[in-house]
Amino acid sequence: MLTGFIREEPLQALYAHWRACAKGGRRLPMRDEMDMLDLPVPVLPHAFIYEREDDGRFRCRLAGTRFTDDLGYEPTGLHLDAMLDPLLGRSRIALYDSCLSGPRACYYRARMTPIGHEHRESGRLLLPVADADGAARFVFGGMVVARLADADPEHAAPDGMISSHCDDPIGHRTDRACG
């Protein structure tokens, strides 16, 4: 379980909500079970949804206001690989792929320099969610950017990654609803 690794309170609340829908990590929640309007209020501004398209690329389908503000631009409609530096992007895209191929929840901390902002660190939570056919297709998650004063002094790898942790894979059972 990622509970001991997630530092940011909004991401802890998002993980708890997803685990309730995932029945404790034993089944893959459906997209309609992870409605933005059902999220705890502190999570909403940090939340995002990416969809893996047929060509394997991830397109941002929805981004909360804080997520957008921290990036410095509106990512909705953009592909993840087009928003990332090629060196930095490989490890991040690999985590999105791992999230859906597991499927498994993943959490990582990394350095980032959003457009128009100083160098900072962020925590991201990636949660697999199924499409209507039960296939892992959506990454539902959240990002919280640390203020410089709260930045962790841990050493980052050349690609900016500080740490990453993933849950064990979960089943694809979709016969029980969330709630």
Whether 161 is in a domain gets the answer yes
3 is a domain residue: no
* Residue 177 domain flag: no
> Which segments of the chain does DSSP mark as H helices, in order?
9-21, 65-71, 80-83, 86-101
Asked if residue 136 is part of any domain, the answer here is: yes
3-state secondary structure of 90: helix
What CATH number corresponds to the domain at position 113? 3.30.450.20
pLDDT confidence of residue 119: 64
Q: Inform me whether the pLDDT recorded for 135 exceeds 80.
A: yes
pLDDT the model gives residue 90: 86
Q: CB burial class (10 A; 0-12, 13-18, 19+) of residue 77?
A: exposed
Residue 175 lies in a domain: no
How many folded domains does the chain comprise?
1
pLDDT at 179 over 50: no
- CB 107 within 8 Å of CB 125: yes
Q: How confident is the model at residue 72 (pLDDT cuts 50, 70, 90)?
A: confident
* Inside any domain, residue 156: yes
Contact indicator for 99, 80 with CB cutoff of 8 Å: no
Residue 176 lies in a domain: no
Helix (H, G, I), strand (E, B) or coil at 136: strand
Mean pLDDT of the chain: 84
| pLDDT (average), residues 117-146 | 89
Report if residue 1 sits inside a domain: no
Q: What share of the chain is helix, strand, coil (3-state, %, to 5)?
A: 30, 25, 45
Reported as a single tens digit per residue, the pLDDT across 44-68 is 999 999 999 999 999 999 999 998 8
pLDDT band at 175 (very low <50, low <70, confident <90, very high): very low
pLDDT surpasses 60 at 8: yes
pTM of the model: 0.87
* Closest listed residue to residue 145, CA positions, set 111, 101, 107, 94: 111
* Domain interval for residue 158: 9-27+44-166
Q: What is the DSSP string of 97-114?
A: HHHHHTT--EEEEEEE--
Cis peptide bond N-terminal to 29, omega within 30: no
- Categorize the per-residue pLDDT at 114 as very low, low, confident or very high, splitting at 50, 70 and 90: low
pLDDT surpasses 70 at 6:
yes
- % pLDDT > 90, the chain: 49
